[in-house]
Amino acid sequence: MISFIGTLAIACGAVCALLGLGAVGGDDRATPSQRNDGGVGGDSDGTPANSLGASSIAKRSDETAAANLNSGGQPSEWSHDFGVVPPGAVVSWGFPVRNSSDFTWTIDKVDVLCRCTVAGVSCPEIAPGAKETVSIELDCGEEVADIVKSAVVQFEEAGAPPVRLLFKASVRPAMTPSVREVSFGGLAPGDTVEQAIALENYSGAEWRDLSVERCPPWADVAIVPYRGPKRDPANSSAATAGGDAPVPTVPRQTWQAVVRFTGKDAGEGYHHGSVVLRADTGDRCEVYLAVHIEARVRVIPEKLVFGPARRGESCVRVARVIVQKRAGVTEIKARGAANCLSVATRRVNEQVWELKASLLVPGDGKLPDGEIAISFPATQLPDVTLPYSFFNASTIR
């Protein structure tokens, strides 16, 4: 019994020693990215990432790192953060793949999930104890986006475990607005509204001044200089491979532009335009604006047509009157020009009223065209008219 327990203890010790040897941290191995601030590079302990998302990569304990090793001591995942890159950038990174087994590994293929990613290998065969590099090239495209991609290294040998490569990049132009388009929605004549837009500086220089290069006549822009603590991009970045200059992972500065709709020279209907903002360094951006100036009063349809109808018959047509928000309409008066035309009103909701026009065709068949006069007592809304017409008398039998 004692011999059995001793044997079991020795076996447990061997397992623990194996886990200890499996920890990543050799000098000949590249360090995966593990920064909480999304920087490029890795920690000194060489802990490989377990997952990579749009949010920052969480730092993991040694126990979790050990669980992420495959049976050969090679991390099953490597990750890299390219940081902030300009639109159109094509970036690359070499991931180390080390063979910790006692037999040669042969790279069969590198599976990539999109056409924007290209993979290459320094040598398809990895001898026991050797290390080869799998290079990933990422075309980041022109759109502002947070890119998260992956690739999987597959081997021909059944005992060689696959390795997953994770990488991400944030595509940002030098001047990046928090929104690319501002829609002020539906407004009544005389309404004013504003929206603040953050302007982030991802360039290599400080902005000392921002100006408005272009603005529609019905809007204006106020620039608010950056008031917060100065950020040192070197403290918010990590060095790239080979000791290159650090890449920014947070904006160097954040300014603010307050865009205000004034309504100047803007009539009823839809209006579109754009604001172009420019820094003293030459960095610029464009923000598109859209607004709908609602009519104070709209009548649908724009004209009522009665007939055909027989003499003495009643012909009914319905219209709707739409008033602007907050107009405070509690009553509508409507009256037809002809004695044979009566109009009843009914409130549908705060903005919509229904008009029901009933025509009693007279016996003489004389039905002149006319208008229904509509007014809004105790409001500032203008009076409007709704035209109506009849088929001529010869069509009435």
**CATH 2.60.40.10 holds for 175-293:** yes
Return the SS3 of 212.
strand
> How many whole angstroms separate alpha carbon 102 and alpha carbon 72?
9
Q: What is the pLDDT of residues 75-101, one digit of tens each?
A: 578 899 998 999 999 999 999 998 989
The answer to whether 40 touches 82, Cβ cutoff 8 Å, is: yes
pLDDT at 226: 65
Neighbours of 253 (CB within 10 A): 20
Q: Tokens 């993991």 label which residue?
A: 60
What are the beta bridge partners of residue 295? none
Question: Which positions of the chain have pLDDT values less than 70?
Answer: 1-75, 226-249, 364-366, 391-397
Residue from 272, 255, 267, 295 nearest 182 by CA = 272
Q: What is the pLDDT of residues 246-278, one digit of tens each?
A: 455 688 889 999 999 887 777 788 889 999 999
CATH topology of domain 2-171: Immunoglobulin-like (2.60.40)
Nearby residues of 160 by Cβ (< 8 Å), 6 or more positions away: 72, 99, 101, 105, 106
The answer to whether 248 touches 83, Cβ cutoff 8 Å, is: yes
Q: Taking the CA of residue 254 as centre, how many other CA atoms within 13 Å lie in the half-sphere pointing to its CB?
A: 9
The terminus-to-terminus CA distance of the chain in angstroms comes to: 118
CATH topology of domain 297-395: Immunoglobulin-like (2.60.40)
Q: Tokens 């982030």 label which residue?
A: 200
Q: Tokens 């075309």 label which residue?
A: 139
Domain ranges of the chain: 2-171, 175-293, 297-395
Fold agreement (2-171, 297-395): yes
